[in-house]
Amino acid sequence: MSDWAPKTAQAKEWFEGLRDQICAAFESIERDNGSDAAFEYTPWQREEEGNEDPGGGVQGLMKGKVFEKVGVNVSTVRGNFPKEFAANINGADPENPGFTATGISLVAHMHNPHVPAVHMNCRFLTTGKAWFGGGADLNPPIPYEEDTEEFHASMRAACMAHNPTYYDRYKKWADEYFYIPHREVHRGVGGIFCDHLECDDDAAWERNYAFIQDIGKQFLDVYPKIVRKRMATEFTPEDEAEMFEYRGRYAEFNLVYDRGTIFGLKTGGNIDAILMSLPPRATWS
């Protein structure tokens, strides 16, 4: 394996900067609604037997008047995959299961059913290979076509700056990935999702890194605009009930199918940070 440590450190620093910008934007929305809610940051350390430097992360969590619950986590971990899990990871060798991973993960659940929930994740991993992955997707309990188009236009812009085939390819991947087979429904209105953007050399790393950065930048630009547009919309108890039922579907996907949840649990991550994606309130009929 090449020495990707400097690149991992560079990506980690950028993910932390993106977190700070996103959290500031979300806190600004709360201030505009008369709330003093702020993110609380909780550091955590990973443990792995025989590993003197397993890494860890920081969980950021805010509960406010607009954001019922929003988590923005950054982690950087290193160690060895369990042998039975290594076979499922790109480039991992069960006989040499070492890895490093750094990334940002965000999930927001809103008080107002007319404001869409959202998910965003960007990451860089090294095993026997090195690659980026991630994306962003919109999850409205009550969809608005205008919001869907605005969000997808932003993700399309991130893609088109790098490769004209990316948007169609990664939109399709998101549509297929964020699907709940046992319910036969999609988790939301989609976005983009990509994985295994392999970095065979420094030039490939720079290209993929720039693309992942643009996903984060576009998300930071578009999502606060959608929140501000919808956050004062009047809603009924029936609207809220619809949101709670939708959240149940969201929770089912994240607990059964989500790659990030499985990865965190299999690699000894912080349980609270891993499950921060779960909604604060949900119903099942």
283 found inside a domain: no
pLDDT tens track for 6-27: 999 999 999 999 999 999 999 9
Spell out the residues 6+ positions from residue 258 whose beta carbon is closer than 8 angstroms to its own. 277
The strand pairing partners of 118, in sequence order, are: 108, 138
55 found inside a domain: yes
pLDDT tens track for 206-264: 999 999 999 999 999 999 999 999 999 999 999 999 999 999 999 999 999 998 898 88
Strands 130-139 and 179-180: unpaired
Q: Supply the range of the domain harboring residue 127.
A: 5-277
284 found inside a domain: no
- Band (pLDDT 50/70/90 cuts) for residue 89 is confident
176 found inside a domain: yes
- CA neighbor of 190 nearest in space, from 216, 156, 217: 156
- Band (pLDDT 50/70/90 cuts) for residue 49 is confident
Predicted pLDDT of residue 139: 98
Predicted pLDDT of residue 91: 67
Choice among 40-54, 67-81, 92-106, 244-258 with the minimum mean pLDDT: 92-106
- Report the C-alpha gap between 105 and 122 in whole angstroms: 7
75 found inside a domain: yes
282 found inside a domain: no
| Catalytic machinery residues | 119
Domains in the chain, number? 1
Average pLDDT, the chain: 94
- Alpha-carbon dihedral angle through residues 190, 195, 201, 207, given to the nearest 10 degrees: 0
Query: Which long-range contacts does 48-51 make (Cβ < 8 Å, 24+ apart)?
Result: 48/79, 48/80, 48/268, 51/78, 51/79, 51/80
228 found inside a domain: yes
- Band (pLDDT 50/70/90 cuts) for residue 266 is confident
Predicted pLDDT of residue 114: 98
Write the CATH number for 37: 3.40.1500.10
- Band (pLDDT 50/70/90 cuts) for residue 86 is low
pTM for this entry: 0.94
- Band (pLDDT 50/70/90 cuts) for residue 1 is very low
- CA neighbor of 208 nearest in space, from 136, 128, 125: 125
pLDDT tens track for 149-193: 999 999 999 999 999 999 999 999 999 999 999 999 999 999 999
143 found inside a domain: yes
